[in-house]
Chain A
Amino acid sequence: AQSVTQLDSHVSVSEGTPVLLRCNYSSSYSPSLFWYVQHPNKGLQLLLKYTSAATLVKGINGFEAEFKKSETSFHLTKPSAHMSDAAEYFCVVSGYGNKLVFGAGTILRVKS
C-alpha cells in the first residue's frame, strides 16, 4: 500500500526567500509522485510529476522537486517565493490503477 506524509501543515516565508515543502512517501514498488497546488476556492492544478526518469523534476512557475529513493522523499522547492504562490500544496503518490493517495496538504503563506 502507498502512503504520503507531508511533514508541515503550514509553512510561512517572506516574499523573495526560498520555499521548501517536505514530503515523504511509502510505496511497495517504484512510485509515480506528483505535486498539486490548490488556490483558495479553486480546483487542483498539477505542478510537476516524477515517473522514474530524471530524479530532479522541474515544474511550472519555477517549482522543482527531487526524488530521493534512499530517503523516500520528494520535497518541493522554489528559489524565490512570490505572493501568488500562497496556496495549499498536496504531495501525491499514484497507486495501482492510477488511484491517487494524497498527503494532508501544506498551506504556504507568503509574507510581503
Chain B
Amino acid sequence: NAGVTQTPKFQVLKTGQSMTLQCAQDMNHEYMSWYRQDPGMGLRLIHYSVGAGITDQGEVPNGYNVSRSTTEDFPLRLLSAAPSQTSVYFCASSYRAGDTDTQYFGPGTRLTVL
C-alpha cells in the first residue's frame, strides 16, 4: 500500500491564481480530511469527507473547495490564492469517522502564495 499520497510536494503561486492540491489513498478509507499547518498553531481542519459524495466544512474553510467523487481521491481547490493561504497542507484518511479511528497523514504540500 502507498498509503496517503499528495501532489505536488511544493508549489509557488501568484495572488489570484487557482490550483488543485491532489490527495489519494489506497486503503479503502471512508473518511478523508484536509488540514493546514502554520507555525505555532498546530494543524487546523479545512474540510472533511465521511464518504464519496459527502463533504463538510472544518474550522478554516474560507477560500477552499473540495469534492469527493470517489473513495480514493479528495482534491482541495484554491479558487483565488491569497498570501494568507501560504502554508503546509496535509491530507489524512481513516477507516471510518469514529473518534477512535486513527488518521493517517500524507507527506504534505508546501504552498507559497506571492
A residues with a Cβ closer than 8 A to B are 4, 9, 31-32, 34, 36, 42-46, 49, 51, 90, 94-100, 102-105
Contact A43 B105 (CB under 8 A): yes
Question: Knowing that A49-B100, A102-B43, A105-B40 are A-B contacts, what are 6 other residue pairs whose CB atoms are under 8 Å apart, sorted by A's residue number?
Answer: A43-B105, A49-B102, A98-B98, A100-B103, A102-B42, A104-B40
- Name B residues whose Cβ lies closer than 8 Å to a Cβ of A: 31, 33, 35, 40-45, 48, 50, 58, 90, 92, 94, 96-108
Residues of the B chain whose Cβ atoms lie less than 8 Å from the Cβ of A51 = 100
Q: Which residues of A contact B33 (CB under 8 A)?
A: 98-100
One of A43, A96, A99 near B106 (C-beta < 8 A): A43
Q: How far is the CB of B38 from chain A (nearest CB, A)?
A: 10
Nearest CB of chain A from residue B109's CB, rounded to whole Å: 11
Q: With the chains together, A9 CA to B44 CA distance in Å?
A: 17
Whether B97 contacts A97 by the Cβ 8 Å rule is yes
